[in-house]
Amino acid sequence: MICFRVCTLAILLTAALFGRPPHAANGRYLATAYDQSGVTASGLYTHRHVVAADPNLLPIGSIIRIKHAGRYSGEYVVADTGQKIVGRRLDIYIPNLAACKKFGVRSVKVKVIRLGDNTHQAATTADREVKQDVRQELERGVPAGAATADDYARMSGALDKPSNNFRSNPSPPLPFK
């Protein structure tokens, strides 16, 4: 009986000190996309790999991995919130209105890598870590879950070229020797 009380007390103290366990926030979320540029709730500017979430479930500064989001599956930092982002809803920053509309509403799977503490410092640190994870993955060229398909396309220059429009982007002349 004493062991039960001590164990229960230890669990309650751990939960009180460190917030809700990360696994409680793992699972299915309803995701949308937004393209509104500016300063987020964390004080960071919007950029790729930023997501808005309910800070009661995923505090600002959390690092998450999103799956089943198509070309936007990857690692993100929770740096923003929103009036309509309540419960298991996410809003992924995509800097293109047409891409946001194409993204629509999707059921995605979220795995919490680390919970933040709702501070600017936590968001800044998490943002630095996510950028580093993405950069390292792109340098290795081996998908590990941090970089999105969009990151790989940007690296190869595919997103910088207009698709199916050869007249506006002619090939450079071949050098003659």
In this structure, what CATH number is given to the domain that contains residue 144? 2.40.40.10
In a domain, 145, yes or no: yes
Q: Which pLDDT value is given to residue 22?
A: 53
Q: How many domains does the chain have?
A: 1
Q: Which residues contact 130 (CB under 8 A, 6 or more apart)?
A: 49, 63, 75, 76, 77, 146
Angle between helices 149-156 and 120-140 (to 10 degrees): 60
In a domain, 29, yes or no: yes
- The partner residues of 116 in beta bridges, in order of sequence, read none
In a domain, 162, yes or no: no
What burial class does residue 167 get, using C-beta atoms within 10 Å of its C-beta: 0-12 exposed, 13-18 middle, 19+ buried? exposed
Q: Which residues contact 96 (CB under 8 A, 6 or more apart)?
A: 35
**Can you give the residue range of the structural domain that contains 36?**
25-157
In a domain, 169, yes or no: no
In a domain, 137, yes or no: yes
In a domain, 3, yes or no: no
Give me the mean pLDDT over the 102-126 stretch: 96
Banded model confidence at residue 91, pLDDT cuts 50, 70, 90: very high
CB neighbours of residue 56 within 10 Å: 12
In a domain, 45, yes or no: yes
pLDDT tens for 42-83 read: 999 999 999 999 999 999 999 999 999 999 999 999 999 999
Nearest to 152, CA basis, from 169, 139, 163, 165 = 139
Helix spans in 19-96 (H): 22-25
